[in-house]
Amino acid sequence: MIRFENVTKYYPTPRGRHYVLRDVSFHIPMGARMGIIGRNGAGKTTLLRLMGGVDTPNAGRIIREGHISWPLGLGAGLQPVMTGTENARFCCRIQGVPLKDIPAMVEGMREFSELGKFFDLPASTYSSGMKGRLKFAIAMAFDFDCYIIDELTSTGDASFRNKATSVFREKRARASFIKVTHSLKEVRDECNCSMVLEKGKLRYFDDVNEAADFYSRLIGGDDEDNDVRVPKRRSAGGQWAAPMVKGATPAGGIGGNAAVAGCHGNNNRFNGQTQAERKAQRQAERRAQRQAERRAQRQAERQALQQGRRAHQQTSVAPPPLVTSMGGPLRSSHRPAPMAPRPGKGQG
């Protein structure tokens, strides 16, 4: 269904390239119900954009087979100056729905979204919850072979979430899906396989319980959804260390062992630092970088100014010629001596 072959994706930053994926290869077959979990900023949404064809990799290739949806999420997907009705009709046209069937589909989206009169107002006037309702209603109106979902079912109030979960359950019974979520309970209840994204590498798990336990140890905390307590062991140095996890491998392989370096039990530490300490360190680094850039810019400006002054002082400028009131050049009062007449014919 979706195959990644040696895919690398990065974004340029002032401090160098930020890699989301590094030489990643994997295959998601038809019928998979994949749950992707990872930290905030790990690149989960970028991974979904690559899967859906919205973004392109810097290296490698991505092969897609079947009718795959666009990334269905809360971040994008609506044209803000268009009304809900116009956005719904636009999506129908893009998906190739016959013109005679569009009014019925749009009416179904209106009813499902529960937006009422706001369905005919511009999307820029919607709250985030209203946008999520409209996006979910549009997405569920089409039948895909695989749905790519970025936390779409987490929008709205309790009643809408229950309705969205029920509809999505019907869809996933006859289609595959790839879903990003922070809820380990959803991974356990809805998925049959999982991947954990961390520092540009993907780890694949056939067992979603192992994936949830691995991610819980990775972030240094407990699984709040199921109140799972992760057993800890002491390393040779006396610090808490993460136990070995079976089934966790880099992308492209299944089986084997992997350990999480730098995790110290449940004290919310990674590489010896708490999240607050890491955040403060990153802020201090950014401030120092900005200050260094401003100092370098001011120094370059001073050097350019000094060079200009020296060049001006060394350059000799000739005085302009004197002119008369009539505009002509000022002539000297000394008259040159008259030339002797040339001898005429017969002289000399």
280 vs 210 pLDDT, higher one: 210
169 vs 50 pLDDT, higher one: 50
Q: What is the pLDDT of residues 240-295, one digit of tens each?
A: 333 333 333 333 333 333 333 333 333 344 445 677 777 788 888 888 888 888 88
Residue type at position 8:
T
- What pLDDT was estimated at residue 226? 38
- Tell me how far apart the alpha carbons of residues 292 and 285 are, in angstroms, rounded to a whole number: 10
Out of 68-77, 79-88, 165-174, 226-235, least confident range:
226-235
Token pair for residue 268? 């919310």
C-alpha closest to that of 24 among 259, 195, 262: 195
Token pair for residue 252? 């492209």
88, 138 Cβ separation under 8 angstroms: yes
Phi, psi of 203 (to 5 degrees): -115, 125
Top-ranked range on mean pLDDT: pick from 82-86, 232-236, 336-340: 82-86
- Regarding beta strands 201-205 and 249-250, do their DSSP bridges make them parallel or antiparallel, or are they unpaired? antiparallel
CB hemisphere CA count around 235 (13 angstroms): 14
Instruction: Provide, for the chain, the percentages of residues in helix, strand and coil under a 3-state DSSP scheme, each rounded to the nearest 5.
Output: 40, 25, 40
Region of 268 (left: φ > 0; alpha: ψ -120 to 50; beta: rest) is left
- What pLDDT was estimated at residue 101? 93
Token pair for residue 178? 């790839």
- What pLDDT was estimated at residue 228? 34
Band of the pLDDT at 83, cuts 50, 70, 90? very high
- What pLDDT was estimated at residue 341? 64
Question: With helix as H, strand as E and coil as C, how does 212-239 read?
Answer: HHHHHHHCCCCECCCCECCCCEECCCCC
The residue-averaged pLDDT of 23-50 equals: 89
Would you say residue 59 has pLDDT above 90? yes
- Tell me how far apart the alpha carbons of residues 257 and 125 are, in angstroms, rounded to a whole number: 51
- What pLDDT was estimated at residue 109? 92
Q: Which runs of E-coded beta strand occur in the chain?
A: 2-13, 16-28, 33-38, 59-64, 72-73, 146-150, 176-180, 193-198, 201-205, 233-234, 240-241, 245-246, 249-250, 257-258, 269-270, 273-274
Would you say residue 24 has pLDDT above 80? yes
C-alpha closest to that of 73 among 93, 45, 37, 54: 45
